[in-house]
Amino acid sequence: MVDKDKIRIAMQMIIEAIGEDPNREGLRDTPRRVAEMYEEIFSGLYEDVGQHLEVVFEEGHEELILVKNIPFYSMCEHHFLPFIGKAHVAYIPTQGRVTGLSKLARVVEGMARRPQMQERLTSQIADMMVERLQPRGACVVIEAEHMCMSMRGIKKPGSLTVTSALRGIFRKDEKTRQEVFNLIMSRS
């Protein structure tokens, strides 16, 4: 689990290192607040995210299932700044085995709640779906704004990074891939 005492000490040292007074009223409780925040936003490190996909139903549905615009936030592992966006998650069940729609959102959230790179996050979600659901195909598209590009460095707020991971039929069949991309891009 998260060692909140170490985080408090480190945060106090950071406050001192930037030339601020850690005993100033506004900063006095900041190390504790940061430790509690890190425990929450990195909770995915201590979660078996795949367990959400263990709940399946035999529904006989073997067509595309897409959950669009799943909001998420994560922390860039390079600068420990947030990246915020939305995930689009699709799969085509095998033998009619489907999972609850909220389970897909829980996988996105669990994988995002750890130090991440967007590229890895995208692949991890797709790979988890393949491993646990054994679908005919899985597709994950993530669009996110990275604060490490928006508020520092090149300073380009509003820039979006888009990544995709295609597995199974989405990788092999152009028509199926185009169908899911068209649905992701549609406004409805």
pLDDT at 187: 84
Number of helices (H), then strands (E), belonging to the chain: the values are 7, 7
pLDDT digits (tens, 9 = 90+) for 115-152: 999 999 999 999 999 999 999 999 999 999 999 999 99
pLDDT at 3: 97
> Would you place residue 55 in the very low, low, confident or very high pLDDT band (cuts 50, 70, 90)?
confident
Given a cut of 80, is residue 188 above it in pLDDT?
A: no
Radius of gyration of the chain (CA): 20
Torsion of the alpha carbons at 176, 177, 181 and 182, rounded to the nearest 10: -40
- Residues whose CB falls within 8 Å of the CB of residue 96, separated by 6 or more in sequence, listed in order: 58, 59, 60, 61, 62
Cα–Cα distance for residue pair 141/170, rounded to 1 Å: 12
DSSP 8-class letter at 100? -
Identity of residue 13: M
Tokens coding 83: 């990246």
Cα–Cα distance for residue pair 60/40, rounded to 1 Å: 38
Given a cut of 80, is residue 27 above it in pLDDT?
A: yes
Tokens coding 14: 């950071």
Cβ-count burial of 157 within 10 angstroms (0-12 exposed, 13-18 middle, 19+ buried)? Answer: exposed
What average pLDDT does the structure give for the chain?
Answer: 97
Given a cut of 80, is residue 167 above it in pLDDT?
A: yes
pLDDT at 185: 96
Instruction: Kindly list the structural domains of the chain, giving each domain's residue range(s) and its CATH number in brackets, ordered by start.
Output: 4-41 (1.10.286.10), 55-185 (3.30.1130.10)
- Show which residues are catalytic: 76-79, 118, 146, 148
Helix axes 4-17, 30-41, angle to 10 degrees: 130
pLDDT digits (tens, 9 = 90+) for 77-98: 999 999 999 999 999 999 999 9
pLDDT at 100: 96
Closest by CA to 159, choosing from 90, 104, 83, 101, is 83
Cα–Cα distance for residue pair 41/38, rounded to 1 Å: 5
